[in-house]
Every structure is written in C-alpha cells, then in structure tokens.
C-alpha cells in the first residue's frame, strides 16, 4: 500500500484488507472481454461488501480537474461578503447556493459549500407533493471569471463517468448494460464544492456528519488532507477512505440500494476535520429524473426475494431532503426506512 498517501486522520491500526478497493477502469474499455468482465466483478464485489470504492484511469482529464480545483480555491478564498452574494435566500428554491451553516440537514457541519446543479429544471415549490418543475435560474459567481466554465466542464465529465459507472454497475447486477439509463434522461444531478477551514477543536466537530447520499451514486474527489470515512457494509466498521492521487471515490447511494433490492446498501459516511490544515472535497451526486418512480428492479425480485421497498417518487424524496433543513423544521424528511417492506 506504499503508493498511497495516508490521510492525516488515518488510524495507525488498519489491516491490509481495510483499504477501500481501488479499481482500474482502463480494462473496462478494452476489447478484451475478460478485462471488462474482471472490472464488472470487482465493482460488484465492492458495491456489495463495502458500499464504496475508488476508481483510477477513469478518463477524466487531469488538466481539466486541476483547472476546476484552482477556480474553486479562488472562489472560497474571497471575503465572506462576496461569497454571501451567492446565498439562495433571494430565491429559496434556487439550486445554486453558497452556504456555511445548514448542512447534513438538522446538524451543523464545519464547512462552507457551493452547490451547482446540472439540471435545467427546478421544483416549483418545496412542497414534496408537488413535483412540477420550472426552468432553473443559473446563479454563478462573477469571481473568478473562469469559475462557471470550469464547473460546467467538470460537470460534463462527471456526467460521462456516471453513465459509464452505471453501465458497469448494471452489469454487476446481472442486468442489461443500459437497463438503468432511462431513469437518468432528465437527471437532477449536482456538484458540490466543500471547504473545511482548519478547526481548533476537531474532536468536537465534523466536516460532514454521518449520512447516506440520496441519489444513485456519488463521485467524490478528496484532497490529501483526507478525513473522509465510510462504514463498510459487511461488518459496519468505520474506515478512512485513503487518499489516492487522481482517483475518485464512488459511494453507493440510496437509489442504488432500492433498485438492487438491497443487494447493494447505501454507504453511511462522514468527514473529519483537523486543526492543522484546511480540506477540500468535491462530491458529484448522480440523481434520477424528477418524475422517476423508485422501486426494486423487476428482474431482481422473485418469490424467494420479494421487493424490499414500496414504490415512491424520487422527486418527492429528493425535495424532502433538499428542503427539510433548519429553515423548514416542520417538514418531514423522507428516508428509505419509510418505504421499507418488513417481512
């Protein structure tokens, strides 16, 4: 494991088999079908046993990634008064948002974030029963001038990688390659830039409190400050996600848990902060279209293994998670347990 830089927060007592699997995607492109089948098997194993893995040789150009990271750092380095201009208070439904106090829903995190959606549509209301949409109003910061273009280019790369991973994951479930693609025709994916300043009392705070991601999968880029931790599916053990240069961390999200009928379980994860240095982290959430009805994929259920979830609307689920924060204390935040069928 010498090739990996250990995160500052890494426990000293990790076993060799406690490192999150690192999967080389280059073989999945090759004409060698054994190579591709090997990648599918590795991904299936990681989704089932870990709920998380990292990918290398993923095809995202390094130069594009670095340009994007630089623009992000310039944005966060501005005075608060400039960043606050991007708060969505002006239009509470605007999905473009700078914020620093209301994340992980009802718990405060030690961080500031900027959210940018890829979607062109946004809900007309934060009422979860209303899944109508209207055109989203882009709200991009003026500084740095290259910010918007860098975020959009990065978003397109993430979209490409997401569809590629979706194919590999579908195959790992024994489904047709493009079986899940239709759910993403008008997908509601978004990117999030996270900056955690150094924290004087890291034992009392978290950069991100424990949670699962609501969508299908998340592609996350963390820097060498580390801090990301996941709860491994097979034994529930909390493990650091080691920093691997130029890799992306892939989390199983709630919707993959539903489609796979719980063969894959949504990863519980969190991020620690440290007192010495700031950390940056960039998740990209790959989410279905607003109008998709979520339920286990038919081919994955049968008499012996009946559906473990009742059908529900992704739009309603997503809106309840997006808007059920401090400002909407009475709103019911939907979770998977609300749709679970217990036998």
Ligand X SMILES: O=C(O)CCC(=O)C(=O)O
Q: Rule CB under 6 A: which residues touch ligand X?
A: 192, 194, 207-208, 213, 222, 228, 269, 271, 281, 283
Least distance to ligand X, CB of residue 269, Å = 6
Between 28 and 229, whose beta carbon lies closer to Fe ion? 229
Report what 215 binds from Fe ion, ligand X, none; CB cut-off 5-8 Å by kind.
none
If binding is defined by CB under 5 A, does position 213 make contact with Fe ion?
yes
Least distance to Fe ion, CB of residue 269, Å = 6
Q: What are phi and psi of 238, to 5 degrees?
A: -75, 125
Least distance to ligand X, CB of residue 343, Å = 31
CA distance 72 to 116: 12
Least distance to ligand X, CB of residue 194, Å = 5
CA distance 237 to 240: 10
Report what 207 binds from Fe ion, ligand X, none; CB cut-off 5-8 Å by kind.
ligand X
If binding is defined by CB under 5 A, does position 115 make contact with Fe ion?
no
Report what 192 binds from ligand X, Fe ion, none; CB cut-off 5-8 Å by kind.
ligand X
Between 244 and 271, whose beta carbon lies closer to ligand X? 271
Between 102 and 295, whose beta carbon lies closer to ligand X? 102
Between 128 and 222, whose beta carbon lies closer to ligand X? 222
Between 213 and 229, whose beta carbon lies closer to Fe ion? 213
Least distance to Fe ion, CB of residue 56, Å = 21
Write out the residues near Fe ion by the rule CB under 5 A: 213
């Amino acid at each position: 494991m010498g090739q990996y830089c250990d995160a500052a927060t890494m426990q000293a007592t990790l076993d060799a088999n406690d490192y999150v699997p690192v999967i080389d995607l280059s073989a999945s492109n090759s004409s060698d079908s054994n190579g591709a089948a090997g990648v599918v098997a590795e991904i299936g194993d990681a989704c089932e046993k870990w709920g998380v893995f990292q990918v290398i040789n993923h095809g995202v150009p390094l130069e594009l990634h670095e340009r994007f990271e630089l623009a992000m750092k310039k944005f966060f380095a501005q005075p608060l008064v400039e960043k606050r201009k991007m708060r969505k208070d002006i239009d509470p439904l605007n999905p473009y948002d700078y914020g620093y106090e209301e994340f992980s829903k009802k718990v405060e995190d030690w961080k500031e974030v900027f959210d940018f959606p890829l979607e062109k549509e946004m809900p007309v209301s934060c009422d979860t029963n209303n899944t109508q949409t209207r055109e989203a109003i882009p709200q991009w910061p003026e500084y740095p001038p290259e910010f918007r273009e860098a975020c959009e280019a990065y978003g397109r790369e993430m979209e490409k990688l997401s569809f590629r991973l979706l194919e590999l994951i579908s195959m790992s479930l024994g489904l047709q390659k493009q079986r899940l693609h239709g759910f993403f025709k008008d997908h509601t994916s978004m990117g999030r830039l996270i900056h955690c300043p150094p924290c004087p009392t890291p034992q009392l705070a978290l950069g991100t409190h424990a949670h699962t991601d609501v969508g299908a999968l998340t592609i996350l880029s963390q820097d060498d400050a580390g801090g990301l931790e996941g709860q491994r599916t097979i034994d529930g053990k909390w493990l650091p996600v080691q920093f691997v240069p130029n890799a992306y961390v892939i989390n199983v999200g709630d919707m993959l848990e539903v489609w796979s009928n719980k063969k894959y379980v949504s990863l519980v994860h969190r991020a620690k902060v440290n007192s010495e240095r700031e950390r940056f982290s960039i998740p990209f959430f790959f989410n279905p279209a607003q109008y998709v009805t979520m339920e286990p994929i038919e081919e994955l259920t049968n008499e012996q293994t009946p559906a473990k979830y009742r059908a529900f609307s992704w739009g309603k689920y997503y809106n309840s998670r997006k808007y059920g924060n401090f400002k909407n204390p009475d709103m019911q935040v939907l979770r998977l347990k609300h749709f679970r069928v217990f036998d």
